[in-house]
Amino acid sequence: MAQMTYLDHNATTSTYPEVVEAVSEVMRLSGANPSSIYGAGREARKRVENARAALATLVNAKTDEVIFTGSGSEADNMAIMGSGRTRVLVGETEHSAVLKTALLRTGDSQLLPVSKEGVIELGALEERLEGKKSPALVCVMAANNETGVLQPVRDVADIAHEHGALVLCDAVQAVGKIDVDFAAWDVDYMALSAHKIGGPPGVGALLRKEGVPFNSLVTGGGQEKGARAGTENVPGIVGYGVAAEIVKDTWQINAKRVAGFRDDLERQVLELSPGSEIFSVKAPRLPNTSNFSLPDVRSDTQVINLDLANIAVSAGSACSAGKVDLSHVLEAMGIASEIASTAIRVSFGWNSKVEDVHAFIAVWQKMVRSASGEATAA
């Protein structure tokens, strides 16, 4: 089978070999329950705490603020439902793990509009917070998973705290691509995920600032200091810690490298198809992410044609059980449905190379020519 050109790192990025090795080593251990007091249990506990420290260092948090979870989505749910706030303000372009939880499981939720570039409207946030008696939870993502747009997290936190609100920041897409700073951003909760930074799937983390309210959703044992019952996923957590250590030392170099790939890709996209639109290009973005349209060619058609050439990209979010629906993110930005339905996302990762750009452009150029009728005319 031909080697795949993988350009969907925002869905899940490639696992570091060092992570695979570390996870395998832990899985071969016997009696590695970190709640056990005998030797093997103590060794497992030590490995979990080492990983906790590595993750805390990566995002400038205290180790006591790190709660390991099963995913970033679980972390979002834990914060929203565990904060005790029934009034939730959530950006229209948030990940579905935040949007659906806020809208379906809380008593009073409101959507916060975004600009045409996808940046949250701070004036609207302040307006919705002013004069309200019930304290709110404000949800703001650090970076959008579809467009890569960066939100003004600290500004949101400052406004929210002035009105007695708490803040949840979903930073799942941001870690490893920009500098994520839990302390400096001054948010109350932060959701993270291992498989987005080269760690294993099935493990994430919720950061919770000391002293903020939190009610555990899963009761039973006293794991994670009572915040999340259930035996910890030691292999996954250890792998997460290894990935965190690698990313801490390499993210800046990788960010600069993939930004070059993205810029080169976008330049060629517009040269080949001047009618294409690159979304959120005027806003601060992740260095690895590009979302753009190909007029008159549906998103799923592009994805399938690229897949036939063994190139993996996505149409919108990849977290919707294999379905390709119109993007709620582009809709919130005011993008017409006939344009949004032709958008795809390309996202680079730590092991991407310039040849990946060349492979994509070669196939995409054929689709452009086919759409314009050049192939038939030739």
Residue 319 falls in the annotated catalytic set: yes
pLDDT cut 70: percent of the chain above it = 94
Q: What is the mean pLDDT of residues 32-48?
A: 83
Those residues with Cβ within 8 angstroms of residue 219's Cβ, 6 or more apart along the chain or in another chain: 229
Please state whether 184 falls in left (phi above 0), alpha (psi between -120 and 50) or beta. Answer: alpha
So what's the pLDDT on residue 319? Answer: 45
Going from the N-terminus, what domains does the chain have, and what CATH number goes with each?
5-12+251-368 (3.90.1150.10), 17-246 (3.40.640.10)
pTM, entire model: 0.93
Question: How many Å apart are CA 94 and CA 79, to the nearest integer?
Answer: 15
156-184 confidence digits (pLDDT tens): 999 999 999 999 999 999 999 999 999 99
pLDDT value at residue 378: 36
177 vs 190: CA distance, rounded Å: 16
Cα-to-chain-centroid distance, residue 323: 18
250: left (phi over 0), alpha (psi -120 to 50) or beta: alpha
User: Which of 53, 103, 270, 319 is the catalytic position?
Assistant: 319
DSSP symbols for 341-370: TTEEEEE--TT--HHHHHHHHHHHHHHHHH
pLDDT at residue 41, as a whole number: 81
For the segment 69-118, what is each residue's pLDDT rounded down to a tens digit? 999 999 999 999 999 998 999 999 999 999 999 888 767 889 999 999 99
pLDDT of residue 132: 74
Token pair recorded at residue 251: 């993210």
**Mean pLDDT over residues 53-74, rounded?**
97
What's the mean per-residue pLDDT of the chain?
92
Arithmetic mean of pLDDT, 341-349: 97
Rounded CA separation 228/219 (Å): 7
Query: What 3-state DSSP class applies to 62?
Result: coil
Evaluate whether 235 touches 331 at the Cβ level (below 8 Å).
Answer: no
List, in order, residues 6 or more apart from 317 with CB less than 8 Å away. 95, 96, 145, 146, 327, 329
Taking alpha carbons only, the member of 95, 114, 153, 149 closest to residue 280 is 149
| Contact predicate 174/180, CB 8 Å | yes
In this structure, what token pair is assigned to residue 372?
């314009």
Task: Give residue 210's identity as a one-letter amino acid code.
Answer: E
pLDDT tens digits, 120-161: 999 999 999 987 778 899 999 999 999 999 999 999 999 999
Structure-token pair, residue 139: 């949800």
Helix axes 234-272, 354-372, angle to 10 degrees: 50
